[in-house]
Structure 1
Amino acid sequence: MSKTNVERLLKQSKIDFESLTYPVDLDDLSAEAVARKINYPLSTIFKTLVLKMVENKYVFVVISGEEELSLKAAAKALHSKKVALVPMKDLEDLTGYIRGGVSAIGAKKNFQVLLSDRAIHEPFIIISAGKRGHQVRLNPHDFLSFTQGILFTNG
């Protein structure tokens, strides 16, 4: 099976990870569905959202499947007056990824990364490998150092 860009970059950086795959249902790309299909707790599944700041900068926000994003908390962590979710139709142009396959690793551009502080309480996190049906399981500290991300409290 060919590696995704995310897997190649992690391997090049000598970061331990495990590749996980599951059948894709385009009608349900939720974190809950991923957790069910790969048989891991929802608390370990992390979804990647893309936000636009009023300063016309973009950021990846990586939060647990159990969480809803607090735009206010994200704006505060970014020292931004206001942030908004990027419309789905703009995701691929901005990141090179499509909904259900967005990753903060290996995107077209390196945007700042915010990681929910819930990740640190998990032995591992599972994030998109950059392609629907593909995930990687890795240590949250490795993810933070690789992305040069910052922890934030979501809400």
Structure 2
Amino acid sequence: MAAVKTNVMRVLEQHKIAYTAHEYEHGKEAVDGETVARLLGQNPEQVFKTLVARGRSGGFHVFVIPVGRELDLKKAAKAAGEKSVELVHVKELLALTGYVRGGCSPVGMKKAFPTVFDETASAQPTVMVSAGKIGFQVECAPEALIALTHAGLAPLTAD
């Protein structure tokens, strides 16, 4: 059990959402999600990464997809009700969300943005997302995360 308590963990506790904290070894740089899944001995289909995009309207959207998959920008735009979306530059992430690359979580961002989980999340018994800090993940029921973030479900990944 992680001795560190992140903001994400506090938000989950505040909303009485059961979770399991996981910690993994890492260097100074963020590691990719598939490496995180491997380090934690988890199925990559259950480990999700959080991506932030700007829609053509200027609004921001959060997409949560399995770590081994690529976001399909056309599907993401459709799910967000935008003509198009593009991922925000890594330099914008901290100011926008309060999180750094590799530690971005759909839970506890500075501001609540419209969020969509890939439809595969609902088929998993549990999913893992970043705990808001590199080296830490939280695992919980997908329904709980989806409800907490007021997220939708849609096909988001490239075939």
TM-score of the aligned structures, taking structure 2 as reference length = 0.94
What is the aligned counterpart of 2:74 among 65, 72, 85? Answer: 72
Q: Deviations over 1:40-86 (max 9, x none)?
A: 11111100000000111101100011211000001011110010000
How many Å separate the matches in 1 of 2:67 and 2:56? 26
The alpha-carbon deviation at position 93 of structure 1 amounts to 0.7
- Show the counterpart of 2:147: 145
Q: Letter of the aligned partner of 1:107 in structure 2?
A: M
Q: 1:27 to 1:12 in 2, by over 3 A?
A: closer
- Show the counterpart of 1:9: 11
How many Å separate the matches in 2 of 1:110 and 1:28? 24
- Show the counterpart of 1:95: 97
Q: Letter of the aligned partner of 1:74 in structure 2?
A: A
Matches within 5 A, 1:95-134: 95-134=97-136
How many Å separate the matches in 2 of 1:63 and 1:81? 20
Following superposition, which runs of at least 4 residues in structure 1 exceed 6 angstroms of deviation?
none
Provide the identity percentage. Answer: 38
The alpha-carbon deviation at position 24 of structure 1 amounts to 1.4
Describe the SS at the equivalent of 1:84. strand
The alpha-carbon deviation at position 28 of structure 1 amounts to 5.6
The alpha-carbon deviation at position 2 of structure 1 amounts to 3.3
How many Å separate the matches in 2 of 1:50 and 1:15? 24
Structure 1 gap ranges (5+): none
Q: Which moved more, 1:63-72 or 1:19-28?
A: 19-28
How many Å separate the matches in 2 of 1:63 and 1:7? 20
- Show the counterpart of 1:54: 56
Conserved in 1, the CA contact under 8 Å of 2:30 and 2:101? no
How many Å separate the matches in 2 of 1:16 and 1:29? 26
Q: Letter of the aligned partner of 2:77 in structure 1?
A: A
TM-score of the aligned structures, taking structure 1 as reference length = 0.96
* Aligned-CA RMSD value: 1.1
Q: Which moved more, 1:28-37 or 1:123-132?
A: 28-37
Describe the SS at the equivalent of 2:34. helix
Matched pairs, number? 155
Structure 2 gap ranges (5+): none
